[in-house]
Structure 1
Amino acid sequence: MAPRDDAPAAIDAAELRRVFFRVFPAVGLAMFGAALDQTIVAAALPAIARGLGAVEHISWVVVAYLVATTVAAPVYGRLGDAFGRRRMLLVGLFVYGLGAALCAVAPSMDVLALARLLQGLGGGGLISLSVALIGEVVPPRERGRFQAWIAAIFASASALGPVAGGVLTEAFGWRAVFLLQPPLAMLTAWLAIRRLGNAAPGDARGFAFDWWGLVLFALFVAPALFALDEARRLTAPALLLALGLAAVAAAAVWLLWRQERRAKDPLLPLEVLGEPSIWRANLCSALMSGAYVGVIAFVPMYFAAVRGLSPSESGFALLPLAVLAAIGAMVAGRLLSRTGRGMIWATIGLVVAAALMAATAFGTGRLGVVAMAALLGLVSIGLGPSFPMVQVTVQVAAGQARLGTATASVQFSRALGSAVGTALVGAVLFGALVAEGGTAAELFVLLVNHGPAGLAHLSEAEAASFRDSMVGAFRAAFLCAAALMLAAAWFSARVPKQRIL
C-alpha cells in the first residue's frame, strides 16, 4: 500500500530505507538510461553525419527524439494514473528498446530520424514514471533523504554520456551507441517485474483516453520545437519558416485549451495544472531549465572561439556546469527532510546562481578557463535545488491520484523551457553580434552550423577581431541567462505550497 501524502510518519526510517531500495534498482536504471540517451547520442552525431550523409538533416536526429519525448510524457503520466505505472513503464521500455534497435540498423538519415521518433515515444515516460513510482512508496518530506541517490543518477549519466558516446563511436562505430540501449532496457524491465510488484495498479474504471487532446498537443509541440530549431539557424528563410510554425503552434494551443475544458478524462487536466503551486513551480522549472541548457549549449562555442580550446578540452571545461547541480540537489533534499521547507531552497539557490552568472558575464574575456569553469560549477550548484524541490512540490499539490500527470508536467515544462531558453540565449548572442556590425554575425552562423572548422579560413587578425566581438556577445548572453534565473527565483518564491508535511 503506497503511503499517503498526508501520512508521512507512517513508515519508520528502517522500513523507509527497505521500501526505497526495493524499488530503486529498477527506477534508477530507467532514469539512468533515459538521462544517458540525452548526452551519449550527441557525441556520435558527427560520425552519423559522415556515415549516412545528409549533414543538413542531422538535427532531425535530435529534434525527432525531443518532440516524441515531450509529446509522450503527459500520455504516460495520464495512462500511468489510470492503468498503473509499472505497467506503463514496461510498455515504455519495450518501445524505447525497439526504437534503439532500429536506430542501430538504420540505412539512411530519414530512417534514423523515424527510429529516433519511435525511441522517443518509449523514452518519454521513463523519467516521469520512475519519479512517480518513488512517489508512490516514499512520503514527500522523506524523499529528501534519498535525493543523493536520484541526483547521482543524473550526475553520472551527464558525466558518462559524452565520454561513453565518444569511446563507443571511436572503437566500434556510431551504431554501437544505439546497440547499448536495448540490453539496458531489457535489464530494467526484468528488474521492474521483480522489484515493482507492489506498485499501485491504477484505476481505469470508466476511463476514456483523450485522443483529440493528444492530437492537438502533438500539433502544438512538434511545430513549436521545429520552430525553435529553425530559429537557431539564424538565416532569413529559417526565421520566416519558424514564424509560420509558431503560428500553427499557437492555433493548436487555443484549440487544445478548448478541448481539455470539455474532455471527460483530459490528457492535461486543467484543474490540476492550473493549481497555483503547480503552474508556478512548473514555470520556475521552465525558466531555470532554459537558462541552464541555454548556457550549456553555447558555452562550448565560447571556449572554442574565444579560448581556442579543442572539442575535448571544451567538454572537460563544461563538466562542472553539467555535473555539480547534483550537489545542490542533495543538500536541498536533506534540508527538506530536516525542516519540511521546499521551494525556499530553490529560491535561495536561484538568486545565488543568478548573481554568479552575472559575475561570469562581467568576467567574460578576463577570467581564465579554470576560473570560469569553477564559477560555472558554482552556478550549477545554485541551480541544483530547483530540480527536486519543484518535483516534490508539484507531486504534493496534485495528490496521489494524479501523481503521474503532475510528474509528467514537470518533465514537459523542463523540455519546453530548455528549447525556448536555448533559442532565446542564441538570439541574444546573435543580436549582440549584429549590433556590433561587420562580419561577426556571419562568422557566428558559420560557427553554429559547422563548428570551429567553419572559421579555419580566417587570418590571425580576423580571428582576433571575431574573438573580441564574441566576448561582448557572450556577456549579453550570460546576462540573459542570469535574468531567466532571477525570474525563476521570483516564481519559486510565489509558490503557495512552501512547506511539505
Structure 2
Amino acid sequence: MVRGETRQEPPDEPGHHGDARGAGDQEVYRTYSHREILQILSGLLMAIFTSMISTSVIGVALPTIVGELGAQDQLSWVAGATLLTMTASTPLWGKMSDLFGRKNMFQLSLGLFVASSLLAGFATDMGLLIFARAVQGLGTGGMAALTQIILGDVVAPRERGRYSGYIGAVFGFSTVAGPLIGGAIVDAPWLGWRWCFFIGVPLALAAMAVVQLVLRPGREAGDARVDWWGAFTLTGGASALMLVLSFGGSAFPWHSAWAYGLGSLAVVLFGFSIIAERRARDPILPPRLFRDRTFVLAGCASLLVGVAMFGVMIYLPQYLQIVKGMSPTVSGLMTLPLVISLLVSAIVAGRVVTRTGRWKAFPLTGLVLIVTGTGLMSLLGSDSSLPVIGADIAVLGVGLGMSMQMLLLAAQNASQRRDMAVATSGITFFRSLGGALGVAALGAILTNEVNDEMTRLLTGTQAAAGTGGARVRDIGLGTPEAINQLPPALHDIVVESFTQAMQTVFLACVPIAVLGFLAVLFLRELPLRTAPASPAAEETA
C-alpha cells in the first residue's frame, strides 16, 4: 500500500471488528491513503529524531557533565538510568497502546519527555539528574516502541523495508547531528551542557503538534485490563539486574550480600513474570510469542546487538576526549564515520529488501561486520591515527545499519496481526535491555580497569610518591579538559589507564556479537508478506 490507494478488508471476516485487543486502532490505520501515510510518517520521524538527537547530544556531553558534577566514575549510571526505564517500560507501552489507543499513549510519551528534559536541564546534583534521566527513559521508551507499532499498523511488511530505510536515515542523521550539536553546545561558553537537555523540548512539542493534527484516534478496547503483575515483575527484574551490573565491583564487591541479593531478586522476579504472563488475560509479553522461533532468535540477536551499539556510542566519546585529548566538538566530528556508514547501509538494505523480499543476508553480514568492527576498536591506543579510528568505527556502523531494522522486520513479518504491537515492543525491549545491561556491565569493566591500572602505575612510578595506591576517586578526575591540564606525569598515567580500559571494553563486545551472529544464523527466512494476513487466514495457519 504505497500508491495512494485505500486498503479495505472485508468487514464480515471473523474477528475483524472486535475479537482482538487494539483492533480499533488498526482498523482506522488501514484506511489511510498514501498521502496520509506520508503525513503520519512525518510525525513519527520527527519523534524519532527528537528522541535520538537527545541521546546523541548527551552522549558527547556526558564526560563534561559528570566531571563538572564531580562523578566521572558514575557516567555509566547517568547513561544507564535512561536505558533502564526505557527498557523496562517498552513492553508496557505496547500493551497500553492496544488498550487505550496509539495516539493517546504516543502523546503521553512525548509529554513525559518534555517534562523530564526540563528537569534534567535544571539539575544541580547527580541524584536529581539521574532521576530526570530515568523519567526521560520512560518517554523515550514509548516513543521508540510506538513509532514502530504505528508504522506496522500502516504499512505491509513487504513495503515496510522502504519505510524502515527512512527511519534508519533519520536515525543516522540525528546521530550525525547530535554529536556535532552537543560538542558545540558544551564548548560554547554562553550555552553550557544544560542546553543539551533543553534542545529537545521544542522538537518534542513540534512532534506533538504534528501527531495531534494528523493521526486519528482508533477505538479503545471496551474491556481493557492492564497486566500490572507482569509490568511489576518485568520492570522489577530488569531494574535489579541493572543495579547489580552498575554497582557491582564499585559500590559493593561482586562477592557480597548486595550482589547476591540483587541477583537473586532479579531471577525471582523474572521467574514470577513467567507465571504472571501465563495467567494474565492481556499479558504484556504473551507466552505464545516465545513459541515462535523467529521472535525468540530475533529478540536474542537484538539484545546482543544492543550491547555493542549502546556500549560503543556511550564510551567512544570518553576514548576520544580523555585518551585522544579531543574537545567535545572534535569528538563529535569523529563519530561521523560511524553514523554516516550506519545511515547509508540502513537505507540501502531497506530498499534492497523492498525490491527483492529477501532479508536474512543483511543481519548475517551485519553481525560479521560488528564482530570485525569491535575487534578492530579493541586495538585502538593513544597513538592511533585519525584515519584508522574512522575506518574502524565505520565498519561497525555498516554492521549496525544492516542489522537493527532487519531483525525487527523479521519479527513483525512472522507475527500475527493481533500480536503486531507486542511483538514490536518485545523486540525493542530486548534491544533496549541489551543496551542497558551493556552500558552497566561495560561501565563496571571500565571503572574497575581504570582503578586497577592507575593503582598499578601510580604505585610503581616516582609520580606516585606519597600517593601510592591512589584510585580514581582519590585523584579527583573531573572533566576531560581538567584531565588534560593535569601534571604531565600524572596525565600520562591517566591516559594509559583509560587506554587499557577502553581496549578491554571494546574487546568484551566481540564474543557478544559472535553470539548474535549465531542467533541470526538459525533464523528462518520467511517470505515477506505483501499485505497483512487476515484474521481468518491466521487462524487457519
Q: TM-score range by the shorter chain?
A: 0.7 to 0.9
Contact 1:234 1:445 in 2 (8 A): no
- 3-state SS of paired residue (1:67): helix
Structure 1 residue 153 corresponds to structure 2 residue 181:
no
In structure 1, the partner of 2:207 is 188
Which residues of structure 1 form unaligned runs of 5+?
5-14
In structure 2, the partner of 1:439 is 457
In structure 1, the partner of 2:299 is 282
Structure 1 residue 491 corresponds to structure 2 residue 510:
no
For residues 464 and 94 of structure 1, do their structure 2 counterparts lie closer, same or farther at Cα, with a shift above 3 Å needed? closer
Task: Supply the distance in 1 between the matched residues of 2:385 and 2:215 (Cα, whole angstroms).
Answer: 49
- 3-state SS of paired residue (1:438): helix
Structure 1 residue 24 corresponds to structure 2 residue 41:
yes
In structure 2, the partner of 1:11 is none
After TM superposition, the structure 1 = structure 2 runs for residues 104-143 of structure 1, keeping only pairs within 5 Å, are: 104-105=121-122, 109-143=126-160
Contact 1:58 1:109 in 2 (8 A): no
In percent, how many aligned pairs have the same letter? Answer: 28
- 3-state SS of paired residue (2:524): coil
Which shifted more, 220-229 or 235-244? 235-244
In structure 2, the partner of 1:343 is 360
Deviation of 1:164 after TM superposition, in Å, equals 2.8
Task: Supply the distance in 2 between the matched residues of 1:480 and 1:489 (Cα, whole angstroms).
Answer: 15
Task: Supply the distance in 1 between the matched residues of 2:456 and 2:153 (Cα, whole angstroms).
Answer: 58
Match of 1:217 among 213, 227, 234: 234
For residues 91 and 285 of structure 1, do their structure 2 counterparts lie closer, same or farther at Cα, with a shift above 3 Å needed? same
For residues 168 and 435 of structure 1, do their structure 2 counterparts lie closer, same or farther at Cα, with a shift above 3 Å needed? closer
After TM superposition, the structure 1 = structure 2 runs for residues 29-108 of structure 1, keeping only pairs within 5 Å, are: 29-43=46-60, 45=62, 61-105=78-122
2:362 partner letter: W
Contact 1:43 1:165 in 2 (8 A): yes
Which shifted more, 366-375 or 80-89? 366-375
1:352 partner letter: L
Contact 2:145 2:424 in 1 (8 A): yes
Deviation of 1:128 after TM superposition, in Å, equals 1.3
Q: CA RMSD in A?
A: 3.6
In structure 2, the partner of 1:395 is 412
Q: For 1:139-168, what per-residue CA distance to the aligned partner results, in whole angstroms no more than 9, with x for missing partners?
A: 111122233321121112212223333444
For residues 119 and 380 of structure 1, do their structure 2 counterparts lie closer, same or farther at Cα, with a shift above 3 Å needed? closer
Q: For 1:198-234, what per-residue CA distance to the aligned partner results, in whole angstroms no more than 9, with x for missing partners?
A: x6x2552333111111122221122222322224x74
For residues 440 and 129 of structure 1, do their structure 2 counterparts lie closer, same or farther at Cα, with a shift above 3 Å needed? farther
For residues 361 and 69 of structure 1, do their structure 2 counterparts lie closer, same or farther at Cα, with a shift above 3 Å needed? closer
In structure 1, the partner of 2:191 is 172
Deviation of 1:26 after TM superposition, in Å, equals 0.9
Which shifted more, 256-265 or 313-322? 313-322
Which shifted more, 30-39 or 424-433? 424-433
Aligned residues: 487
Match of 1:482 among 510, 513, 529: 510
1:191 partner letter: V
In structure 2, the partner of 1:7 is none
Task: Supply the distance in 1 between the matched residues of 2:520 and 2:67 (Cα, whole angstroms).
Answer: 45
After TM superposition, the structure 1 = structure 2 runs for residues 351-430 of structure 1, keeping only pairs within 5 Å, are: 351-362=368-379, 367-425=384-442
Contact 1:208 1:265 in 2 (8 A): yes
- 3-state SS of paired residue (2:335): helix
- 3-state SS of paired residue (2:397): helix
For residues 297 and 106 of structure 1, do their structure 2 counterparts lie closer, same or farther at Cα, with a shift above 3 Å needed? closer
1:409 partner letter: G
Deviation of 1:490 after TM superposition, in Å, equals 1.3
Deviation of 1:274 after TM superposition, in Å, equals 4.2
In structure 1, the partner of 2:281 is 264
Deviation of 1:80 after TM superposition, in Å, equals 1.2
Contact 1:358 1:478 in 2 (8 A): yes
Contact 2:71 2:478 in 1 (8 A): no
Contact 1:273 1:406 in 2 (8 A): no
Task: Supply the distance in 1 between the matched residues of 2:406 and 2:203 (Cα, whole angstroms).
Answer: 29
For residues 246 and 151 of structure 1, do their structure 2 counterparts lie closer, same or farther at Cα, with a shift above 3 Å needed? same
Task: Supply the distance in 2 between the matched residues of 1:107 and 1:436 (Cα, whole angstroms).
Answer: 30
Match of 2:315 among 298, 306, 310: 298
Task: Supply the distance in 1 between the matched residues of 2:383 and 2:67 (Cα, whole angstroms).
Answer: 37
Deviation of 1:370 after TM superposition, in Å, equals 1.6
For residues 306 and 110 of structure 1, do their structure 2 counterparts lie closer, same or farther at Cα, with a shift above 3 Å needed? closer
For residues 440 and 204 of structure 1, do their structure 2 counterparts lie closer, same or farther at Cα, with a shift above 3 Å needed? farther
Deviation of 1:251 after TM superposition, in Å, equals 1.8
- 3-state SS of paired residue (1:18): helix
Query: Which is higher, the Rg of structure 1 or of structure 2?
Result: 2
For residues 35 and 268 of structure 1, do their structure 2 counterparts lie closer, same or farther at Cα, with a shift above 3 Å needed? same
For residues 279 and 107 of structure 1, do their structure 2 counterparts lie closer, same or farther at Cα, with a shift above 3 Å needed? same
Task: Supply the distance in 2 between the matched residues of 1:179 and 1:458 (Cα, whole angstroms).
Answer: 35
Q: For 1:321-359, what per-residue CA distance to the aligned partner results, in whole angstroms no more than 9, with x for missing partners?
A: 244212221121112112211232110121133234434
Task: Supply the distance in 1 between the matched residues of 2:242 and 2:167 (Cα, whole angstroms).
Answer: 28
Task: Supply the distance in 1 between the matched residues of 2:102 and 2:119 (Cα, whole angstroms).
Answer: 26
For residues 58 and 83 of structure 1, do their structure 2 counterparts lie closer, same or farther at Cα, with a shift above 3 Å needed? same
Task: Supply the distance in 2 between the matched residues of 1:436 and 1:131 (Cα, whole angstroms).
Answer: 45
**TM-score with structure 1 length normalisation?**
0.84
Deviation of 1:77 after TM superposition, in Å, equals 0.4
1:225 partner letter: M
Task: Supply the distance in 2 between the matched residues of 1:469 and 1:182 (Cα, whole angstroms).
Answer: 38
**TM-score with structure 2 length normalisation?**
0.78
